[in-house]
Chains A and B, each alone.
Chain A
Amino acid sequence: MQNISFSIAADLLKNKAIFIYGLLLAVLGWGMFLIESQPEKTILALLQITLIVVPLMTSIFATIYYYNSAEFIQLLLIQPLKRRSIIWGIFAGLSSGFVLSFLVGIGLPLLLFYPTTASLHLILSGTFLSVIFTGLALLVSTHQQDKARSIGFVLLLWIFFTFIFDGILLWAMYQLADYPIEQSILFGTFLNPVSVARTLVVMQTEAAALLGLSGAIFKDFFGSLKGSFIAMLILIIWGILPYLFVKRKFLTRDF
């Protein structure tokens, strides 16, 4: 039954949208290194790109793909295939397509021009974010019949995680400054995969100012080594959790 997952993944890699996404990342990734002579700066620029572009593109593309392949999914459903392997095929295929695009576009230039632990962590972050936001997009798409609404919702999620979340955290900290709230704020940071991904990379660089509030708390609490281990663990959980809900819904819904 893994066979069908592979078929879907192979079919996806031929998809134009994923190709264009990879091309966009490649222009940014390779281009940055070619115009900027200081790789320490380039990695930070690529970090920003990864944190903003990867979640946005993967979640939008994944949502559109899911709705556009409604007929295809139906065709698969009437074959003697388990629903479980169909949804796994879609998730695995989409994620691996995005991860591959990211690795070629951003990962490869990083390894070639700036092979450091920071680069390695950035590659890990981008990979995790690709999987996480594919899962989130499918989570929205499987629970919502209307494509336009789903895209809107996915955009909101992206805005929330990239821009609003840290703002809320900062606001909460100011409001509750008189209380010992570090622990709760720390748990709060776990709730945002984007800041966890950012923390994971920035902890490896000298640019502590870019940590952001959640990152600063994180580093302060765990220190670099333990911090990056825990950050990775959280990202793995973020990668798995949405998919479990996607699977549950896909197995019990009508087509």
Chain B
Amino acid sequence: MISIQNISKKYGAQQVLNKVNLEFSGGQSIALIGPNGSGKTTLIKSILGLVLADQGQINVQNQDISLGPDYRKIIGYMPQLSKFPEQMKVGQLFSLIKKIRRDIAQNEYDLSLYNDFGIAKMEGKSLGALSGGMKQQVSAALAFLFRPKIIILDEPTAGLDPISNSILKHKVNEARAQNCLLITTSHILNDLEEMCNHVVYLMDGKIVLNEEMKFIAETTGEANLNKMVIKFLQTGKIAKCKI
């Protein structure tokens, strides 16, 4: 579904992405991890067209994304910090976005997160008055609203309470089962463990690990993603040589 070819991006003198190559397909749930400043958000923003890469090409469903914005019709995005226009009401936000997305009929909306998070009760509140977690809920509900085939979640669970957290995880797993592609970044690896089946590790703008989670677990003999990743990175080169 997404093919990233040789993407590079520089901010000033800093090389944020360095010749990144990735192929993602439906049914994959990618855990995109890496230290702070490793280029995770920049990579995501390049896919979304918010950041324009200096080099390389990104194809979404075999279509070069630089050719037009229509590819974003199948992408749902939940940003890292959900920032919205302060004075706009939650209800207004939803109706505005629905107005923009006329391509999706009213009866096709996916309202499960909208209902589960109780967003109807927030409709009259202005977005500036919502707490960080509530904004995340709104943002998650919006990301899934138009039944996207590709869902990109940037630090989705950071501000969510435990119940909302498990609702979101459930939703992610459901979407994966429906053959959607999900890309999630997080520093909370426990959360990723429950939602993802593939790990991509970025460091200094380069991919150092791109494997099925099952494979990593088998090679390292660890059950915990945190330990898996550390062990795999230490022994990764050796393990690859053996295969």
Contact = CB atoms under 8 A, between A and B. Distances in A.
B45 A254 contact: yes
A20 to B, nearest CB: 14
A72 B99 contact: no
Contacts of B49: 77
Contacts of B86: 68
Interface residues of A, number: 23
Contact of A11 (B52, B96, B101): B96
Interface in B78-98: 79, 83-86, 88, 96-97
B72 A80 contact: yes
Nearest to A254: B51
A26 to B, nearest CB: 23
Contacts of B100: 3-4, 7, 76, 79, 81
B86 to A, nearest CB: 8
A7 B50 contact: no
Nearest to A76: B100
Contact of B97 (A68, A79, A82, A255): A79
A69 B84 CA distance: 8
A72 B84 contact: yes
Contacts of B69: 79-83
A143 B231 CA distance: 46
A71 interface: yes
B79 A80 contact: no
A76 B142 CA distance: 12
B77 interface: yes
B214 interface: no
A38 B70 CA distance: 59
Given A77-B50, A80-B70, A254-B52, A71 B97 contact: no
B156 to A, nearest CB: 15
Contact of A79 (B51, B72, B79, B84): B72
B50 A74 contact: yes
A75 interface: yes
Given A4-B100, A79-B72, A79-B101, A72 B50 contact: no
B114 interface: no
Interface string A53-97: 000000000000000111110111111111100000000000000
Nearest to B50: A255
B42 to A, nearest CB: 9
Contacts of B102: 3
Interface of B: 45, 48-52, 68-73, 75, 77, 79, 83-86, 88, 96-97, 99-103
Interface of A: 3-4, 7, 11, 68-72, 74-83, 252-255
19 contacts: A3-B99, A4-B100, A11-B96, A70-B83, A72-B85, A74-B50, A74-B79, A75-B97, A76-B100, A78-B77, A78-B79, A79-B100, A80-B70, A80-B71, A80-B101, A254-B45, A254-B52, A255-B45, A255-B51
